Amino acid sequence: MSEPTIAQKKPYIIELEAGDYWFCTCGKSQNQPFCDGSHQGSAFSPMKFTIEEKRKVGLCGCKHSKNMPFCDGSHKDL
C-alpha cells in the first residue's frame, strides 16, 4: 500500500459538534483534516468517525497515527 502524504507534523486541534465526519487518510485533501475526494484513483479511502457530543479533538495531521483519526504523537518520529 502507498504511503500517505504528510499534511502537517502536528495535530489539527478542532472543536467539533456532535455528528459524523469523514477524515482524510491520503493527506492530499485541500480541506484538511477532512476528505475532499482527492484520494480518488488511489488506494486510500476516507475514514468515517462519529463525535457523540461537542468537544475539542486533536486529529492526526501526519496520517501515521495508530489511533486514527486521532493524534497519538507519531509525527514526532517522522
In sequence order, the 6+-apart residues with CB closer than 8 A to the CB of 11 are: 58, 59, 60, 61, 71, 75
The pTM assigned to this predicted structure is 0.94
- Every domain of the chain and the residues it spans: 12-65
Q: What is the pLDDT of residues 4-34, one digit of tens each?
A: 999 999 999 999 999 999 999 999 999 999 9
Given this model, what pLDDT does residue 28 score? 97
Given this model, what pLDDT does residue 2 score? 86
For residue 1, pLDDT over 80 is answered with no
- With H, G, I as helix, E, B as strand and everything else as coil, classify residue 56: strand
For residue 41, pLDDT over 70 is answered with yes
